[in-house]
Amino acid sequence: MGTFVGHVAPGFGFVLIGLWHLYNNIKLHILHPNSYTSSPWFRAPFAKYLELYLIIGGSSLSIAMELFIGPVKHQPFDHDGTIPSNHLHNFEHSSISLSFLIYATLALLLDRNGLKVEENIEEAKSSRDGITQMLAALAFCQQFLMFHLHSSDHMGVEGQYHLLLQIVIFVSIATTLIGIALPRSFTLSFVRSLSIFFQGIWLMVMGFMLWTPQLIPKGCHMNMEEGHYVVRCNDDHTLHRAKSLVNLEFSWFVSGVAMFGAFFYLALEKKFIGNVKYYRALEEVAEVEEMEDVESQKNVRGEFQSLIQTGKGLQPVDMER
């Protein structure tokens, strides 16, 4: 992950997953506001487990890149079998990918096991979703832990980017954990989806800002350390300025992502509002037909009872004859 591609590629994956969750949560809430319930992952129309397969594939590729493809010797260990200091960050990044690989694999197994149950028990489905949410929260916790205790520089410009990323990851952790208890909260699901999207955006920004020489702050430069480039500043004054620029950049992206989320909701609301009216019309027709059926049943019962009463009244006459 300590390269341009190592930040942009996983960042793009987070953006895709965040957008997918954002789209589905908004769509579900607009079409079914009264029965809305969020989901830890969403089915694709042409491939049910596409989201989970992408996470599994992306995580596996990331682990392979960090431990086997990226290193010069195509293996991360020293000649005596120990982990050298210049490959510590590779193991940290691969540990993050491993946690998401475990989440997606177990989520897949939980859902497939649920399909084998003959009766679709709502409580069992809710329990499986809760367990899947917990696994996602653990993956985010692992991500937070690795970035917080990163072996790379904490004091430089890259460390400032990592510090701000931890804020977004913490939002993902909190909303995922609270979502276990409040699966019907649209606001909670909306914020969680937007935080996953923001994680991807910020990772991609890091890739461009830290590994593009033209975008490095004035007074700073790229320096090769332990096999990868790190941004270093000439003195404390330029370092303080560079960190302040990163803080400004983060605040602008917070505003931008919030605006994007609001406009995305408005766009989807406009798109699906016709479907909402159609579904409500169908519901009204169904209610009217149900009321008519009830009334007709009452009329039939009334006629039947009157016939019975009439028959009782005719019985003595027939006996006399």
Whether 318 is in a domain gets the answer no
Whether 45 is in a domain gets the answer yes
Q: Quick check: 307 pLDDT over 80? A: no
Least Cα distance to 207 among 45, 2, 7 occurs for 7
Rounded alpha-carbon distances, angstroms, from residue 206 to 6, 161, 164, 227:
10, 7, 11, 19
Both structure tokens of 127: 């329990």
Residue 260, classed as helix, strand or coil, is: helix
The per-residue pLDDT for 194 is 98
| Pairwise CA distance, residues 234 & 250, whole Å | 23
Residue 217: CA count within 13 A, CB half-sphere = 25
pLDDT over 90, % of the chain = 58
Whether 43 is in a domain gets the answer yes
Both structure tokens of 77: 């260990």
Whether 319 is in a domain gets the answer no
pLDDT of 151-210, one tens digit each? 666 678 999 999 999 999 999 999 999 999 999 999 999 999 999 999 999 999 999 999
Whether 305 is in a domain gets the answer no
Domain count, the chain: 1
- The values of phi and psi at residue 229, to 5°, are -80, 140
CA torsion 283-284-290-294 (nearest 10°) is 150
Q: Which residues neighbour 45 within 8 Å (Cβ) at sequence distance 6 or greater? A: none
CA 98, 103, 106, 108 dihedral sign is negative
**Long-range contacts (CB closer than 8 Å, 24 or more residues apart) made by 243-250:** 243/157, 243/160, 245/217, 246/157, 246/160, 246/161, 246/164, 246/209, 247/160, 247/164, 249/205, 249/209, 250/164, 250/202
The per-residue pLDDT for 151 is 66
Please, is 12 exposed, middle or buried when counting C-beta atoms within 10 Å of its C-beta (0-12, 13-18, 19+)?
A: middle
DSSP-derived secondary structure for 262-305: HHHHHHHHHHHHHHHHHHHHHHHHHHHHHHHHHHHHHHHHHHHH
The per-residue pLDDT for 102 is 97
Whether 243 is in a domain gets the answer yes
Whether 181 is in a domain gets the answer yes
| Pairwise CA distance, residues 195 & 9, whole Å | 18
| Pairwise CA distance, residues 71 & 145, whole Å | 24
- Residue count of the chain, please give it: 321
pTM more than 0.85: no
Both structure tokens of 191: 């914020």
Domain, as residue range, for 64? 4-272
pLDDT of 10-62, one tens digit each? 999 999 999 999 999 999 999 988 889 999 999 998 889 999 999 999 999 99
Residue 222, classed as helix, strand or coil, is: strand
Q: Quick check: 318 pLDDT over 50? A: no
Residue 119, classed as helix, strand or coil, is: coil
Average pLDDT taken over every residue of the chain = 85
| Pairwise CA distance, residues 257 & 129, whole Å | 27
Instruction: Cite the beta strand spans of the chain per DSSP E.
Output: 220-225, 228-233
DSSP-derived secondary structure for 131-158: HHHHHHHHHHHHHHHHHHT-SS-SSSHH
Residue 59: CA count within 13 A, CB half-sphere = 19
Whether 77 is in a domain gets the answer yes
| Pairwise CA distance, residues 176 & 199, whole Å | 14
